[in-house]
Amino acid sequence: MAAATQSDAFVAFDHVQKSYDGVSLVVKDLNLAIGKGEFLTMLGPSGSGKTTCLMMLAGFETATHGEITLDGRPINQVPPHKRGIGMVFQNYALFPHMTVGENLSFPLEVRGMGKPEREAKIARALDMVQMGAFASRRPAQLSGGQQQRIALARALVFDPKLVLMDEPLGALDKQLREHMQFEIKHLHESLGITVVYVTHDQGEALTMSDRVAVFNDGRIQQLAPPADLYERPDNSFVAGFIGENNKLMGVIEDLSGEKATVRLTSGELIDATPVNVREKGQKTLVSIRPERVEFKPSMMPAGAHTLDATVTEVIYMGDILRVVLRVAGQDGFVMKMRNTLGQTKLAPGEAIKVGWHPQDARALDP
């Protein structure tokens, strides 16, 4: 999906700021365009501003400065119930005294819909989330996963063009959470709705999204498709927040085009792709993903850098072995090995050489 511009966006934040005390800004000069039918995730640590952005879009918070538009219409002054937005919360927010059917009927009654149409829409929404047989039950009679499905059905029942989800899977166990990720992704694809999703779980963001906006300190640090965020982080915060990352400290020795030569603190020279470094002598953090590190000469790519390493720990994780190393004088360097038949066994204290392709190393801001 091509990224939307401010002029053709379905949802647009235009120089939006938010302060609760009139002094410190929780959201700082946010400009963001979301396309129709896009699944955009706002990802970041607690306090980064992502949930505040969602709440301003929903109408539960008011922007201190700037404008939010929905389908070309300014909505800063439009109350939440008139925005036509579906909302799914982490705590489900179902009415405990109502049956499942009554919970779904409520948003339709508010919109003045007649009973036959309400019943048809309720049946369709429950079928979407495979809960058609549960209309007469109350929320307390359902499991957490079933309640989340009902909350999702209630957000979809009145055919909104935009659905907001605030940490909707946070209360579920790991297996159910992963299953629901795929269900929500498939629902989004089949219905063609626009989804804005908030989470602090980077695995969730990578799995589900068309694009991810990584927030920190009230600003978007990078806005990109999941693969770009993972493979080409713009700065050290994004590199550290998205997936696991090895970090080697050093100084830029030479810089030419798409290649930076870095002298590590231990003295070795390695090449990396320069990102956010601009001059010789500048300190840098070189990032390398653990799954790109190899120790068998036969597996190393042509032109690979090799460094001496000492195994400090080997952790069995089922599908992979997580090997922790001391590399270039730094502890905590991780290599991930697939757990395959005949895999070479490594033991703590063992001296090995590790290598990676220079393209897999990125010289970032320190």
CATH number for the domain including 360?
A: 2.40.50.140
Domain CATH for 191: 3.40.50.300
Tens digits of residue pLDDT in 105-152: 998 988 888 999 999 999 999 988 888 889 999 999 998 888 988 989
pLDDT of residue 207: 92
Tens digits of residue pLDDT in 9-36: 999 999 999 999 988 999 999 999 999 9
In this structure, are 68 and 133 located in the same domain? yes
Last residue of a domain, one of 207, 236, 265: 236
CB 15 within 8 A of CB 29: yes
DSSP state of 299: G
Left if phi > 0, otherwise alpha if psi is -120 to 50, otherwise beta: which for 12? Answer: beta
% of the chain at pLDDT higher than 70: 98
The most confident of 50-59, 135-144, 294-303, by mean pLDDT:
50-59
Query: What's the mean pLDDT in 85-108?
Result: 88
Does residue 250 sit within a domain? Answer: yes
pLDDT of residue 6: 67
- pLDDT(3) > 80: no
pLDDT of residue 362: 93
For the chain, what is the domain count? 2
pLDDT of residue 179: 86
In this structure, are 71 and 187 located in the same domain? yes
**Which region among 12-21, 174-183, 208-217, 296-305 has the lowest average model confidence (pLDDT)?**
296-305
Report the C-alpha gap between 325 and 79 in whole angstroms: 55
What is the per-residue DSSP string for 59-99? TSS--SEEEEEETTEE-TTS-GGGS-EEEEETT----TTS-
Closest to 134 in 3D by CA, of 118, 117, 158, 151: 151
Give SS3 for 208.
helix
Does residue 222 sit within a domain? Answer: yes
- pLDDT(350) > 80: yes
C-alpha distances out from residue 271 to 181, 240, 251, 303, Å: 38, 20, 11, 10
Query: What's the mean pLDDT in 70-78?
Result: 94
Q: Length of the chain, please? A: 366
Closest to 351 in 3D by CA, of 316, 319, 306, 320: 306
pLDDT of residue 264: 93
- pLDDT(291) > 80: yes
Does residue 332 sit within a domain? Answer: yes
Q: Calculate ∠ Cα 339-341-344, nearest 5°.
A: 75
Last residue of a domain, one of 196, 219, 236: 236
Report the C-alpha gap between 4 and 211 in whole angstroms: 11
Domain span including residue 305? 244-364
pLDDT of residue 292: 92
Report the C-alpha gap between 267 and 271 in whole angstroms: 13
pLDDT of residue 113: 87
- Reading the block at residue 153, the tokens are 């059905």
CB 20 within 8 A of CB 63: no
pLDDT of residue 2: 58
In this structure, are 119 and 228 located in the same domain? yes
In this structure, are 176 and 271 located in the same domain? no
Does residue 121 sit within a domain? Answer: yes
In this structure, are 101 and 198 located in the same domain? yes
Residue 351: pLDDT band (50, 70, 90) is very high
Residue 296: pLDDT band (50, 70, 90) is confident
In this structure, are 80 and 222 located in the same domain? yes
In this structure, are 249 and 222 located in the same domain? no
Does residue 288 sit within a domain? Answer: yes
- pLDDT(270) > 90: yes
In this structure, are 226 and 184 located in the same domain? yes
Amino acid at site 50: K
pLDDT of residue 243: 86
In this structure, are 301 and 152 located in the same domain? no
